[in-house]
Chain A
Amino acid sequence: MLFGLPYYLILLLPLGGSLLVPVIGRFNEKLRDWTPAIFMGITMVLAWSLLLDVNHPSGPTSWPWIEVLGLNFEVLLDPLSVIMTVLASTLCFLIYVYSTEYMHGEEDRDRFFFLMLAFGGGMLTLVLSNNLLIAFIGWEIMGFCSYGLIGFWNDKKNAPEIDPTGIESSNPLLQFETEGQYNTHSGTKAFIVTRVGDAFMLAGILILFVFAGTFSFTELANPDMVSPLSADPHHPVNWWAAVAGVGLLIPLLFLIFMGAIGKSGQAPLQVWLPEAMAGPTSVSALIHAATMVKAGVYITARFLITIVGVTGGGEHHAAILPLQSFGIEMAFTFFLIVAVIGAITAFMTATMGMVSNELKQILAFSTLSQLGYMMLALGTGGLLAGTGHGYEEAYLSGVLHVISHGAFKALLFLAAGGVIHAVHTKYISNMGGLKNYMPWTYRVMLVGVAALAGIFPLSGFWSKDSIIEWVYDYYHVSHDPIGLLLFILAVAAAACTIFYSLRLIGIVFHGPSKGQHDDHDSHSDEHHSEEEEHDSHDSHSVPHDPGPAMMIPLYILAAFTIGALVIIPAVQNLVLGTTEEWGVIIAHLWEAKITMPGLIPFVITLGALALGGVSGWWIYIKNADTPNQIIPESGFRRRIYNFLKRRWLINDFYYWVINKLLRAADKYRLNVDNKIIDGIDFGSRDAALAISSKLRWVDDNIIDGFAEGISTQSVAASESSQTIQSGKINDYISVIIFGIGIMVLLVLVMSGVI
């Protein structure tokens, strides 16, 4: 690494730096706000320098961590890890810079910046570690930090903002009195839902460890690593064959994938991400673009590579070990599950995004949808490998989408944060016509949504389009009807994506101004007192573009999104380990699109984009000034709208189940626990107290009374030669008990029993 520094600094700087944040906060608030940015900036420089060391570490990569357990901390410097590290550190840095202005004046920033920096550190731990267990620690650090950050505004006392188009829920779990309650609920929800996945994942990791005897990714990917559970000692097999031999392969892989489902918000655990918008916008950007949800994609990609490695390159050449008959085709079902879940998520959440009324929630749905694409790409890669074709290109398209999505989604969130900051509402139906007030925000946002929708020549076009192409390619080579389904879902999701992108732009930036910001006449109202004047200045001033600390990261991200074409070939060379010329790769990209069979998906996708784009443009931009009457008050279209608005009822279903469960538990408590279990509790307490007071009496009067009695008696006896008859019954009893005890012991010893 740079200057020969040790690699672990990349993790240590953010994780250790996060602990310094509250300390620095005691001395200098401004420096404290900049601390995460400074630490992450240094980390970013170091991370970029890793690009020179891919696969060729220039120093030690392993350090003992817990020597007793033989646990080492080892960094992994393969292309995937390095790309994720560079991406995560760069986006984190930009978001931290943005946060310094965005969070200005908020309460309790110690907590905020501590969690932010630890969050980034957790992600870097995950992607850079060569040890599944340590990666899982990073994974959990992120889980905790997301909980703290989503619920960051936990003590807001004002009532939550009502969604003007929202559907009232009757579930008592969803009634909130204050915004703080809602925020806390959202954070808790994110934590619990992802924990569901994590619990399965941990089980999967432990089973994997039982079979593989190692947590190391490089060892897991090595087909010559012998499993400690080899059935036949004369023919050692690796973990893959050992697991497959007992038929646990698909369950094991699925358990681990459950973690990714939870973290990356795949169906059916996608419910937490839309609510995760309760946190500050920079948190949303961090969760969506750089960390957290990318973790699930990363771990899936990591396992794709590992599986390809352990099965010997993914192609059907002869087994490396004798008698090994288990190839990657064993995992075909698993990759089918990944691809189907990805495709369903991509389509389902895109339809939800079409009707959402919350600015950041639309972006959240789009994130879910794009994550679905990434999973689809990885699943398709596995499917292609499983049917005897190369997995690399499909996998590459997934990685490319991670990168391009990271950039444009950070861009969109940060821009949206600027908008919300300026108009003080999160619902787009309260916004409108901001184009003229926030011209630069509008422009960067336009770049963002265009990339999101996959418009040429922005980054999203290249990555998303190639995912769709490879899905089609899988159908083309295998004629698997599920492949066709995947393709249809992917294309439909693309159409939905461009529709909601244009809807977002149209409602927020076009059309008439309304809501909070059209009363700038009152701004100059002189009747207000000084204090009210100050207040009104804060909340009622004309919306405007934010300051440089917020805008500069936006420009950088926009520049990357526009210039993606320049970078894609470099990434491709890095991922595939090739050294093609820039022009050759670009030519290949085009060639794949305009020749058969790639032409078919390309044309179909363009058609879908045109369909979604034209309708979106017509409704929300062309006719932005006229009220929207597309959805009637009742009828079939309204029902569809409500179904989408309620997020396919999945969310409602979970709440319904949990509510029922809580009620049942409450009933149990009232009828069974309070009466029976508590009865036993109180009964045994009373019994214990009664026993203890009796025993104390015995101890004080008999045991101690015996000794005291003897001494009093002997004193008395020596004084007046009286008899030792004290007349006290206690003394006699205790003497007898003690004497009997000694005699029993003597008899036992003498008779040889003991």
Chain B
Amino acid sequence: MQLAFAQQLLGLIENSIGILPLLLLLPLVGALLAYLLGDAGARPVTILITLIELGLGLILAMAFDPNNLPASTEGMVYTGSFELTTINLGSATTTFEIAWGVDGISVAMVVLANLVVFIAALSSNHIHESKRLYYALFLLLQTGLLGVFVSTDLLSFFIFWELVLIPMFFIIGKWGEEGCQHAAVKFFIYTHLGSAAMLIAFFVLFFVSGTYSFSMIVLRGTTLAPMVQIGFALAVFLGAGVKLPVFPLHNWLPWAHVKAPTPGSVILAGILLKMGGYGFIRLGLWLVPEAFARLAIPFALLAVFTCIYMAFVAMAQTDLKSMVAYTSVNHMAWVLLAVAVGSVGYVNPALGFSAELAIQGAIFMMFSHGMISSVMFIAAGQLKYSAGTRQIPEVKGLMEKAPKFSAILILSSLAAFGFPGMSGFIAEVLVLFGSVTAYIWAGLIGLGLFVTVGYLLWMLNRVVFSDPDPEAEVAEAPWVDLIAPIIMMIPVLLLGIWPDLILSLIHPAVVFLLGG
């Protein structure tokens, strides 16, 4: 969807600082500003900055021409770089740099990141303690997130990847609920171990590829030895698999999600997990597709297993937030399945179409899950404020006591298990169609979906549609708390009936990625 005015606006920005540097720098400036303005001014500044970022993201998406995929940059446009340092390595000179560029997939993720961060900023209204520090960290986090999605250099990718960890660590550890420090440490160790494996792989690749370059664009054009590729793919699996997460690397997630403050959970589920999915696509499928194709069957099996396993584990949870957290893991398994199928399609052109469907489904799943899980986490957090507890068996009769809040909870639950007409449905259908045509047994993931429907409806039955308990106090959520989830439900419904908004953006990039 290319709009003339957006292109003009983008042209203006591109002629001065460049759209991607602007996207990255604005939150940094904002962070400084928020910290300097103090507790009173931090929140307005943050909302303003995130809103501008969202606007910039949308302008980028509207002006972006998805069919313009220059072969010289492997499909990346709006490229640029900032040199950090140059090292002489005997014959070759190596430049360490921050390099950026986007294709359709990145643009979709940038829009999602800005959307989720904006919603998280809106739903930060219950944070009262050291606001200036909180919002400064919050904006720093945004820079890190965006950086991951627009990096075209392994080193800068890693820098941004790690940059996300630090503010997140503090947000969980300082503003979370009881037991949050343990959760923060756990989160940090897990993700850091994964990142360490990935960093080693980056350096190995640097030396053995023979290019002495960290540039992904250069590396994608280079033919690598099969064992190097497989080693790299396994390292990516560790790094991105922790973020996604995949069984058995997932245990940091329930802790971190449950103990984090609501906006922290929103960012964790809404966009941090998508870094894992994006890592799988960009570093795995985009960079070393042959290796992923060889690992496809174990990955797909693991994905199906994770989905079903997590669905059952979610069912046994009594804390709503914990249930939503496991639901996230369960949904992210779909992304891994789609990536596995996509890599098979790369080496086997007969499955090219299923691969296209699956990868589009993976990206659509990340986008839609980012929106839906944000709403669900806000709802789970709201339950604590409205009913005093998040324990599912203890809350009863929400529909009668708090109809507006119930509507949000019901709609987001329906969206979460893929009710037709909402974006989750499109995502599941795309992945399922793509996967089943490649591996018939991948249809088993439908069992996970089935269990998901079961436990979410069961939760609604117990919490929303039960008879109210006259003893318990349940209050309706105020509008100020409902505004963020309501805004977020708009794109969920819109994409449910008009998926082309995203699909038309990513489809050419997916075809390009598969060698089309």
Interfacial chain A residues near B516, Cβ < 8 Å:
none
B347 close to A (CB within 8 Å): no
A749 close to B (CB within 8 Å): yes
Cβ B451 vs Cβ A754 within 8 A: no
A695 close to B (CB within 8 Å): yes
The interface bits of chain A over 722-754 (1 if a CB of B lies within 8 angstroms of the residue's CB, else 0) are 000000000000000010010001001100001
A703 close to B (CB within 8 Å): yes
B491 close to A (CB within 8 Å): no
Interfacial chain A residues near B416, Cβ < 8 Å:
none
Cβ A754 vs Cβ B298 within 8 A: yes
- Stretch among B308-316, B401-409, B463-471 lining the A interface: B308-316
A666 close to B (CB within 8 Å): no
Cβ A692 vs Cβ B313 within 8 A: yes
A376–B186 CA distance with the chains assembled, in angstroms: 83
Cβ A693 vs Cβ B316 within 8 A: yes
Q: Which of B190, B251, B298, B312 contacts A695 (CB 8 A)?
A: B312
Interfacial chain B residues near A674, Cβ < 8 Å:
none
B230 close to A (CB within 8 Å): yes
Q: Which of B189, B248, B298, B317 contacts A745 (CB 8 A)?
A: B298
B400 → chain A closest CB, angstroms: 23
A703–B295 CA distance with the chains assembled, in angstroms: 23
Interfacial chain B residues near A745, Cβ < 8 Å:
298
B454 close to A (CB within 8 Å): yes
Interfacial chain A residues near B313, Cβ < 8 Å:
692, 695-696, 699
B203 → chain A closest CB, angstroms: 21
For window 678-728 of chain A, which residues contact chain B by CB distance below 8 Å? 688-689, 691-693, 695-696, 699, 703-704, 707, 711
Cβ B251 vs Cβ A692 within 8 A: no
B503 close to A (CB within 8 Å): no
Q: Which of A689, A711, A741 contacts B315 (CB 8 A)?
A: A689
Q: How large is the interface on B (under 10, 10 to 19, 20 to 34, 35 or more residues)?
A: 20 to 34
Cβ A692 vs Cβ B189 within 8 A: no
B297 close to A (CB within 8 Å): yes
Query: Chain A: how many interface residues by the 8 Å CB criterion?
Result: 18
Given contacts A703-B248, A738-B248, contact A692 B312 (CB under 8 A): yes
Cβ A692 vs Cβ B297 within 8 A: no
Cβ A754 vs Cβ B315 within 8 A: no
Cβ A695 vs Cβ B316 within 8 A: yes
Interfacial chain A residues near B309, Cβ < 8 Å:
695, 699
Interfacial chain B residues near A692, Cβ < 8 Å:
312-316, 455
A489–B206 CA distance with the chains assembled, in angstroms: 95
B384 close to A (CB within 8 Å): no
A526–B297 CA distance with the chains assembled, in angstroms: 94
Interfacial chain B residues near A707, Cβ < 8 Å:
186, 190, 251
B462 close to A (CB within 8 Å): no
The interface bits of chain A over 383-424 (1 if a CB of B lies within 8 angstroms of the residue's CB, else 0) are 000000000000000000000000000000000000000000
A711–B193 CA distance with the chains assembled, in angstroms: 13
Interfacial chain A residues near B298, Cβ < 8 Å:
745, 748, 754
Q: Which of B248, B317, B451 contacts A688 (CB 8 A)?
A: B451
Cβ B251 vs Cβ A699 within 8 A: yes
A689–B313 CA distance with the chains assembled, in angstroms: 10
A699–B311 CA distance with the chains assembled, in angstroms: 12
B449 → chain A closest CB, angstroms: 14
For window 266-289 of chain A, which residues contact chain B by CB distance below 8 Å? none
Cβ B312 vs Cβ A754 within 8 A: no
For window 145-188 of chain B, which residues contact chain A by CB distance below 8 Å? 186
**Nearest A residue to B226 by beta-carbon distance?**
A752
Given contacts A695-B309, A699-B251, A703-B248, contact A688 B454 (CB under 8 A): yes
Cβ B251 vs Cβ A696 within 8 A: no
B294 close to A (CB within 8 Å): yes
Cβ A711 vs Cβ B251 within 8 A: no
A696–B316 CA distance with the chains assembled, in angstroms: 6
For window 353-370 of chain A, which residues contact chain B by CB distance below 8 Å? none
Cβ A691 vs Cβ B312 within 8 A: yes
**Nearest B residue to A699 by beta-carbon distance?**
B313
Given contacts A688-B312, A688-B454, A703-B251, contact A696 B295 (CB under 8 A): no
B230 → chain A closest CB, angstroms: 6
B499 → chain A closest CB, angstroms: 12
Q: Which of B189, B230, B251, B317 contacts A704 (CB 8 A)?
A: B251
A82 → chain B closest CB, angstroms: 36
Given contacts A695-B309, A754-B295, contact A688 B315 (CB under 8 A): yes
Cβ A711 vs Cβ B316 within 8 A: no
A344–B90 CA distance with the chains assembled, in angstroms: 102
Interface centre among B248, B295, B297, B309 (most CB of A within 10 A): B248
A689 → chain B closest CB, angstroms: 7
Given contacts A703-B248, A703-B251, A704-B251, contact A754 B294 (CB under 8 A): yes
**Nearest A residue to B230 by beta-carbon distance?**
A749
A22–B29 CA distance with the chains assembled, in angstroms: 51
Interfacial chain B residues near A711, Cβ < 8 Å:
189
The interface bits of chain B over 451-490 (1 if a CB of A lies within 8 angstroms of the residue's CB, else 0) are 1001100000000000000000000000000000000000
A365–B190 CA distance with the chains assembled, in angstroms: 79
B506 → chain A closest CB, angstroms: 18
A87–B186 CA distance with the chains assembled, in angstroms: 77
B302 → chain A closest CB, angstroms: 10
A575–B117 CA distance with the chains assembled, in angstroms: 66
Interfacial chain B residues near A749, Cβ < 8 Å:
230, 234
A660–B304 CA distance with the chains assembled, in angstroms: 47
9 contacts between A and B (CB under 8 A): A691-B312, A695-B316, A696-B312, A699-B251, A703-B251, A707-B251, A738-B248, A741-B248, A754-B297
5 additional contacts (CB under 8 A) given A692-B314, A749-B234, A754-B294? A689-B316, A692-B312, A699-B251, A707-B251, A738-B248
Binding site for A on B (CB under 8 A): 186, 189-190, 230, 234, 247-248, 250-251, 294-295, 297-298, 309, 312-317, 451, 454-455
Binding site for B on A (CB under 8 A): 688-689, 691-693, 695-696, 699, 703-704, 707, 711, 738, 741, 745, 748-749, 754
Which 9 A-B residue pairings sit nearest by Cβ, starting from the closest? A696-B316, A692-B315, A692-B316, A692-B312, A704-B251, A695-B312, A693-B316, A699-B313, A703-B248
